[in-house]
């Protein structure tokens, strides 16, 4: 029985040609999602800070 990286390599060889391209596409999609989340968090931070700042009511 194979463990860890050996098992992954063996599985990849068994599946055949198109699988590496598909795996790369899925990896890129995950990375895009992560990047988008990070950009969203950065873009909204000034708004969040302004909402947390107390406003004097006169």
Q: Model-level pTM? A: 0.20
2's tokens: 């194979």
**Averaged in consecutive runs of 10 residues, what is the pLDDT profile of the chain (58 residues)?**
55 55 68 63 75 81
pLDDT at 15: 53
- Concatenating the DSSP letter of every residue in 1-57 gives ---HHHHHHHHHHHH-THHHHHHHHHHHHHHHHHHHHHHHHHHHHHHHHHHHS----
Alpha-carbon torsion (21, 25, 27, 28), positive or negative: positive
**Rounded to 5 degrees, what angle do the CA atoms 8, 10, 12 make?**
70
């Amino acid at each position: 029985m194979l463990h860890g990286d050996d098992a992954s390599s063996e599985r990849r060889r068994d599946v055949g040609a198109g699988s590496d391209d598909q795996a790369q596409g899925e990896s890129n999609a995950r990375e895009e999602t992560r990047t988008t989340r990070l950009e969203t968090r950065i873009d909204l931070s000034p708004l969040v800070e302004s909402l947390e700042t107390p406003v004097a009511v006169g």
